[in-house]
Amino acid sequence: MATDVGLVVRNLLDFYPFAGKTVVSVGAGGGQLVEYGRAARRVVAVDGDGEALGRLGDVLAAKGLAGRFELVCSDVLEVSARGDVVLFEFSLHEMPDPERALAHARTLASDVVVLDHAPGSGWAWHVVEEEKVKRSAEAMRRLGVRAERRFLGEQRFADHAELLAKVSVQGPLAVARAERFRGAGEIVIPFGYEVALL
């Protein structure tokens, strides 16, 4: 595993009290962070990628969490399910209009929690998402952040080939940025992320 997902989940749970709440989770497909769902009363898991939701369903079944999650294949702007909190799972920076996505989220719940890359993250630079991250962070600031915490984790790879397998889907610039690690072993890239309550 490239990063300590368990630590990311613990930091999320320390930041916001999910216990007994209905969570509308945006970008939930894939299922890496589902453990927060053990605390929640119910999770409406939203993702526009049907294949990612399929993977999420498999993870939930394996972890005994399927009964707590409702899977919804949709764009966040078309979601009408209401909850106590909307959680963006490393997805706000991927939104074409993050400010509009946040404004819509506020119509679904009184609390909006964003877990995403932090501006200046070395990992965001390596996957060519630094401008997206900057844009989404600016959108959060414009709408008003009530509380936030930043964390520094690590993305770890055994060698250049493993790193390349991870970043190549991001295109030729990501591949070029990974070139400096050619021939290296035990690669460690700083992974800055933040949790914010709006």
Range of the domain at 61: 5-197
Of 169, 150, 24, 18, the residue nearest 91 (C-alpha): 24
Around Cβ 128, how many Cβ atoms within 10 Å?
Answer: 17
- Structure tokens belonging to residue 150: 């930043």
Model confidence, pTM: 0.93
- How many domains in the chain? 1
Question: The domain spanning residue 181 has which CATH number?
Answer: 3.40.50.150
Mean pLDDT of 23-29: 91
Mean pLDDT of 58-87: 94
- Structure tokens belonging to residue 122: 């070395």
How long, in residues, is the chain? 198
**In the chain, what percentage of residues exceed pLDDT 70?**
99
How big, in percent rounded to 5, are the helix, strand and coil portions of the chain? 45, 25, 25
